Amino acid sequence: MQQIAVNWLVFSVSLVGLLLFGILYAFLIRWGSKKEVEGQTAWAVMVGVTVTLLAMIPTFGLVTIALMFAGFSASGIPMIVEYVLRVHKAQQTDKDNAKGIAKDLLK
């Protein structure tokens, strides 16, 4: 197993910063939910992961975090595409159903 030297003060400050970010971000996500913003889950996860990785650069270095970001991107991009397509299709289905109901009511 490879050993890495960790500056525990820098790591601790990063964790505290991420905790504060997480709290504020959770409030933002809750606000979006109350405003009925749909299709935000994939983007919320992407932003959260990106901020977390960026906050770890001082501890683990740019190269390590860039490699991790590449891995998350490789697995995450197909998930985001699927999610966006699914949400769009569900919204389109809802619109079509609403038009059908309105048409039936006007008969």
For the stretch 31-79, pLDDT in tens is 998 988 878 889 999 999 999 999 999 999 999 999 999 999 999 999 9
Instruction: Name the token pair of 25.
Output: 């971000």
Helix axes of 62-106 and 41-55: crossing angle, nearest 10 degrees: 170
The pLDDT assigned to 45 comes to 93
C-alpha dihedral sign at 32, 35, 41, 46: negative
For the whole model, what pTM was predicted? 0.81
Chain center to CA of 96 = 29
C-alpha dihedral sign at 96, 102, 104, 107: negative
The pLDDT assigned to 77 comes to 95
Q: Which of 88, 89, 83 is nearest to 42 (CA)?
A: 83
